[in-house]
Structure 1
Amino acid sequence: MPAASAAHAVPPGRTRLITRPFRARRIRRALFCPQILVLGLIASAGAAPMARAQDAAVKEAPARSSVAAEIRAQVGGKLRDFYGPRGFWPVWVEKDAVGPQADALLKLIDSAEADGLKPGNYDPKGLRRAIEDADGSGDPKALARAELALSKSFAKLVADMRAPSRAVKMRYLDPEVEPRDPGPADILRAAAVTSSFEDYVEKAGWMSPFYMQLRKARADYGKTWADLPDVAVPTGLKLKPGAKGPGVGALRERLGLSPGGGYDKALAAKVKAFQGDHGLTPDGIAGPQTVTALNRGPKYYARALALNMERTRLLPGPWVRHVVVDAASARLWYYSGGKLDGTMKVVVGAKESQTPMMAGMIRYATLNPYWNVPPDLVERKIAPKILDGASLQKMNYEALSDWSANPQKLNQSSIDWQAVASGRQELRVRELPGRSNSMGRMKFMFPNDLGIYLHDTPSRDLFGKPARQFSNGCVRLEDAPRLGKWFFGKTLTTDSDTPEQHRPLPQPVPVYLTYLTAASGKDGVAFRPDVYGRD
């Protein structure tokens, strides 16, 4: 897929109304013409039953060809832009009936309220009638009508699910990553190239896995915790099994139990369940963290879940090759081909130097990088050391005349360090490449005026901390060489010690810096601290 369309391409239920024999699905997505159908059957069936495969192809091809002819006669508008180039070959119809991917679509439509959408907008009753007519008769005209109705509803649903919310602001650095309104042809074309159309629809492969996981977690959360009383639990107490008193009564009421009782097994079980579903250690003891979480109230969590779903709506689906960095959890993920390829810890910006929410294209890597020290750090950290007698050379720094591509090196003695330390003069200082360089061995660049990028680091201790918001805004990588190998398809090496060796990526890769204070966890929803105060 060209980079220009990669970032927001839209790549690749209903209960079965009429049962029918199993069909080989591995070849279904490649069936654009009878010849490919025959080759696919031969390839999947093996040499021994080749004759049977050819017979099956001969029987199915005319039926699908008849449906294609009816699609040609019936299709119009923007759908024709999709069906025309593929010879009007169907994507929903298999042999003489509608395929199971329609089940997945109807199931998704039925649950569209989870996306803030109205199921009725996608005509589920009409779709079911069209499918019943087609499956019941096997008539090519009815099959074509069902085919086109499914495509129309599918394209509308995908476009509406992908539509970004105005409630969330993301800065887009490149036109390739800016949200766009995909047309029906774009949506269907992207879906048609996936390895399994049924899986793609069932898992809503056009949406980010973060979105789909949070969508399910939000639904599960609502069934358990959303309607409980908003009762304040007294703070400053550590309530545990066996305890009694007004604090225990408030705790019981908050968790939906009768207030007249002690800290019994039923309450301990409720506390454990609440802790597990809110990213807390499920020990059954209502300590300060648990009481604080309880006192936020159900409305707080409902808002947090809704807000974070909108944040994840801005991320692409797994069929787009891309990188996601979440500043709230300080973690990075990278995807391609419909699956997660890897994940790692990162260190992100501190509260006073936040990693922003933005998206851009990683275009090149720099090996043996310099580190251009931010002017405020030169003022606060380097200048005072120089005034105390330190040496730029021994600290592996050099001072430069300006921020151009070819600056002049300055002698330490020629600089007014008092003016630099007081903030009256701005000075460019950079750290030379080497083992101790703050950028490590490599950095990955997506050009932006904030100087934010992904980079290696020699400091490994921070990766052992559960909260990793410590940087000046850039993203420090736990395993930069591994990510570099994913970007380039090979291990990145240098032939010399020359500084700033730039290597363009074979194809630019979108990167999304986001902020997810609620996400799906292994025991429920992981609600994370709002370190940046953005919620």
Structure 2
Amino acid sequence: MRRRQWANLACVSALALSLGYAAALAESMPGTDPTLGIPLPEQPALVILDDEKPAPARPDASAEAAPDAADDAKSETAGLPVPETEPGMVTGTVTPSAQPQGILVAPDLPSVPAATPDLPVTLDIPEIDLPPSDPALIAPFRLQAAPEPLRSAEPLIAPPDLPKVVVELPPASEFAADIAARATEALALPRLGERERADIVTAYAANGNKPLWIDGKGWSEAGKRLTARLGRAAEDGLRPTDYPLPAFEASDKGSLAEADVRLSGLAVLYARDARGARVDPRRLSKLLTPTLYLPSATEVLSELTGATDAGAVLAAYNPPHEGYRRLQAKLAELREHLDDTPLVRIPAGPALKLGMRDDRVPLVRARLGLGPTEDPVFDRSTATALAAFQKQAGLPANGVLGAQTLAALGTPATARGEQDIIAQMERWRWLPADLGSSHIMVNVPEFRVRVVRQGQIVHETRAIVGKPETATPIFSHKMDHVIVNPSWFVPPSILKKEFLPGLAADPEYAAKRGYVVTRTRHGISVRQPPGERNALGWIKFMFPNDHSVYLHDTPNRRLFANERRAFSHGCVRVDNPFLLADQVLGPEWTHERLKRLIGSGERRINLPAPLAIHLVYNTHVVGADGKLTTFEDLYGFHRMVRQALEQQG
């Protein structure tokens, strides 16, 4: 009986604990899960069916209470509460329909003997439906076994072997810091302008300071082509010493970086020199006003870096004209032959003229290749030989030994010839790279006018140019119209030098010569009306310019018979100008039709299209046969250019 009471006590205690825990939980957070914070479903009511009610108490229960007192004392000694048995208490086995999760387990109780065969009391507690729990949320509140590591799914078919990808970083990044640090020092070239230096630095910065001409071990293929072109600068009439190639150590990144930037600076300098930057013509004379087409550093580097052959692109900055190429070939020919003329030093002294006696005469004759003479007289043979030398040297062929001629005699013939050709090549750089498929070329020292179409001369005639004191300017422009029966307005220079003194001496000075004087707010204007005596003749060819010069007819046609035709005030007088009009006005306006307009009043005729015209100063010309022809340096422009280049050297 004692064992049975212990069984009943254990069952009742378990039921009480379960019900107490549920009640406490419902009071603390009614309807809400403490972990998830979501409402819980309503708990079903506990219903005891009639067939599950406990049986009435047995009569022998009181008889067995005494022996239980000793056991109760033992329980109190052990620290456990002693349950009191009340009348009507239900005893038996409680079997829930499902074990609730998370219920605290009571401390270990003494082992309970096997239950008596009495029928147990069974309570049907339905299972509570809860939403599925997230393991990650309940992990802190419940011990779980560590999950197995995820395993990748094995493909059923093995993939093919992929090729190995080899990524090679360009060596450019290795030089970026050195290029940025050494750019200023690398671009310290004497004639490279500040603007060009800044443009080069900007170009490198825009490219991430990557090298352009090195590949990590030395010059790249493009760099080698550039250095080769710079090394042959003498072929183009340029000085190789102006483009000293940088030296570097292949193992020194800083040295390589500096060499790369230096080569860019040298290439830009060469390109600009090839287009005419070595000499500023406007500083030599106010009458030298060509428009130079100098490339920017950005343009040069852009073209070179994008070219297949950087050396060929760099060489193409030199003039592409046939006249320049012939001079280039002649320069190479001169350098192949050494000058075997004995160089004789002639002392300075007064100018020697025909018939003068001087101790220097034997030296002059020896320098000119003439035989000795007993009497030191500057005779006719000496003067004739000296005049031939002067003509070849581009000097006035007057047979007088002056300072310029003496300096020319003191230079070896080969060296002097090189200097002359190089100075002439330099003036070709003043011209546009594109002269125009159709254009007019006026060579002032030659006194010639030529019309060129598609590279062929279609018309050529004689010309009269300005006197040395009123020189014809050198420039390029566009001819756009022709005027028949023109009036001539006396330019200010002639008005000041000739007309004002004449009018001061004779008020009728202008009227007697057929000029009309008009008083203006700023002074007077003198105009010569159209007519046979008009200084412009019957026709003039207009190309607006700063010098107020143009091509025109002349009433003094007899002057064309002279070999040296420098008679004008700066304009270019054309022999038989109506034939020239045929070339520029087209077939609609023949010279017969134009002549019918003479005397009928001033008439303007526009050209079908503007025509390029170039007034040039070519004292050294190489023909198609390779023969060099020299013309007199009328205004000293050739000498100015040659001296300017020599001073740079």
The reply to whether residue 428 of structure 1 matches residue 546 of structure 2 is no
Quote the Cα distance in structure 1 between the aligned partners of 2:621 and 2:457: 16
Task: Specify the SS of the correspondent of 2:545.
Answer: coil
The reply to whether residue 531 of structure 1 matches residue 635 of structure 2 is yes
1:501 alignment partner AA: R
Task: Specify the SS of the correspondent of 1:427.
Answer: strand
Cα pair distance change 1:300/1:508, threshold 3 Å: same
Cα pair distance change 1:398/1:258, threshold 3 Å: closer
Cα pair distance change 1:111/1:485, threshold 3 Å: farther
* Residue of 540, 544, 555 corresponding to 1:458: 555
Task: State the match for 1:179 in structure 2.
Answer: 293
Task: Specify the SS of the correspondent of 1:428.
Answer: strand
Report if the CA contact (8 A) 2:515-2:527 is conserved.
yes
2:517 alignment partner AA: A
C-alpha deviations, 1:127-183, integer Å up to 9, x for none?
Answer: xxxxxxxxxxxxxxxxxxxxxxxxxxxxx9x9789622331426999xx97626598
Displacement of 1:370 after TM fit? 0.5
* Residue of 276, 282, 289 corresponding to 1:164: 276
Cα pair distance change 1:391/1:314, threshold 3 Å: closer
Report if the CA contact (8 A) 1:402-1:428 is conserved.
yes
Quote the Cα distance in structure 2 between the aligned partners of 1:274 and 1:391: 46
Q: Flag the structure with more relative contact order, 1 or 2, with Cα contacts below 8 A and sequence separation at least 6.
A: 1
The reply to whether residue 519 of structure 1 matches residue 621 of structure 2 is yes
Quote the Cα distance in structure 2 between the aligned partners of 1:391 and 1:291: 42
1:328 alignment partner AA: P
Task: State the match for 1:143 in structure 2.
Answer: none
Quote the Cα distance in structure 2 between the aligned partners of 1:485 and 1:301: 40
Task: Specify the SS of the correspondent of 2:427.
Answer: helix
Report if the CA contact (8 A) 2:464-2:572 is conserved.
yes
Aligned residues, how many? Answer: 349
C-alpha deviations, 1:278-326, integer Å up to 9, x for none?
Answer: 46999xxx95469974641326554333222111222356763222223
Task: State the match for 1:390 in structure 2.
Answer: 508
Bigger radius of gyration among the two: 2
1:116 alignment partner AA: L
Task: State the match for 1:350 in structure 2.
Answer: 467
Cα pair distance change 1:237/1:112, threshold 3 Å: closer
Task: Specify the SS of the correspondent of 2:281.
Answer: coil
Quote the Cα distance in structure 1 between the aligned partners of 2:371 and 2:517: 70
Task: State the match for 1:367 in structure 2.
Answer: 484
Task: Specify the SS of the correspondent of 2:523.
Answer: coil
Task: State the match for 1:324 in structure 2.
Answer: 441
Quote the Cα distance in structure 2 between the aligned partners of 1:322 and 1:289: 40
C-alpha deviations, 1:103-134, integer Å up to 9, x for none?
Answer: xxx9xx9897144387xx9xxxxxxxxxxxxx
Quote the Cα distance in structure 2 between the aligned partners of 1:436 and 1:251: 50
C-alpha deviations, 1:70-108, integer Å up to 9, x for none?
Answer: xxxxxxxxxxxxxxxxxxxxxxxxxxxxxxxxxxxx9xx
Task: State the match for 1:336 in structure 2.
Answer: 453
Higher mean C-alpha deviation, range 470-479 or range 205-214: 205-214
Higher mean C-alpha deviation, range 361-370 or range 523-532: 523-532
Cα pair distance change 1:111/1:442, threshold 3 Å: same
The reply to whether residue 215 of structure 1 matches residue 312 of structure 2 is no
Task: State the match for 1:305 in structure 2.
Answer: 421
Quote the Cα distance in structure 2 between the aligned partners of 1:436 and 1:257: 51
2:329 alignment partner AA: K
Report if the CA contact (8 A) 1:369-1:433 is conserved.
yes
Instruction: Tell me the TM-score normalized by structure 1.
Output: 0.51
Report if the CA contact (8 A) 1:358-1:513 is conserved.
yes
Higher mean C-alpha deviation, range 444-453 or range 319-328: 319-328
Report if the CA contact (8 A) 1:214-1:309 is conserved.
yes
Task: State the match for 1:116 in structure 2.
Answer: 238
Task: Specify the SS of the correspondent of 2:534.
Answer: coil
C-alpha deviations, 1:262-291, integer Å up to 9, x for none?
Answer: 99xxx99x9899678546999xxx954699
C-alpha deviations, 1:238-264, integer Å up to 9, x for none?
Answer: 79xxxxx97445643x4689999999x
Unaligned 5+ segments in structure 1 are: 1-105, 122-155, 188-203, 240-244, 404-424
Report if the CA contact (8 A) 1:330-1:346 is conserved.
yes
* Residue of 483, 504, 511 corresponding to 2:580: 483
2:235 alignment partner AA: E
Unaligned 5+ segments in structure 2 are: 1-227, 244-267, 304-316, 377-381, 641-649
Quote the Cα distance in structure 1 between the aligned partners of 2:480 and 2:340: 44
Report if the CA contact (8 A) 1:205-1:319 is conserved.
no
Cα pair distance change 1:371/1:205, threshold 3 Å: same
2:328 alignment partner AA: R
Quote the Cα distance in structure 1 between the aligned partners of 2:551 and 2:533: 17
Report if the CA contact (8 A) 2:387-2:399 is conserved.
no
1:309 alignment partner AA: M
Report if the CA contact (8 A) 1:365-1:442 is conserved.
yes
Task: State the match for 2:151 in structure 1.
Answer: none
The reply to whether residue 503 of structure 1 matches residue 605 of structure 2 is yes
Quote the Cα distance in structure 1 between the aligned partners of 2:618 and 2:499: 35
Cα pair distance change 1:260/1:509, threshold 3 Å: same
Cα pair distance change 1:484/1:498, threshold 3 Å: same
Quote the Cα distance in structure 2 between the aligned partners of 1:226 and 1:339: 39
Cα pair distance change 1:337/1:228, threshold 3 Å: farther
1:500 alignment partner AA: E
Displacement of 1:512 after TM fit? 1.8
Cα pair distance change 1:375/1:524, threshold 3 Å: closer
Task: Specify the SS of the correspondent of 2:633.
Answer: coil
Quote the Cα distance in structure 2 between the aligned partners of 1:356 and 1:345: 18
Task: Specify the SS of the correspondent of 1:311.
Answer: helix
Query: Over aligned residues, Cα RMSD in angstroms?
Result: 5.4
Task: State the match for 2:517 in structure 1.
Answer: 399
Report if the CA contact (8 A) 1:277-1:523 is conserved.
no
Cα pair distance change 1:334/1:386, threshold 3 Å: same
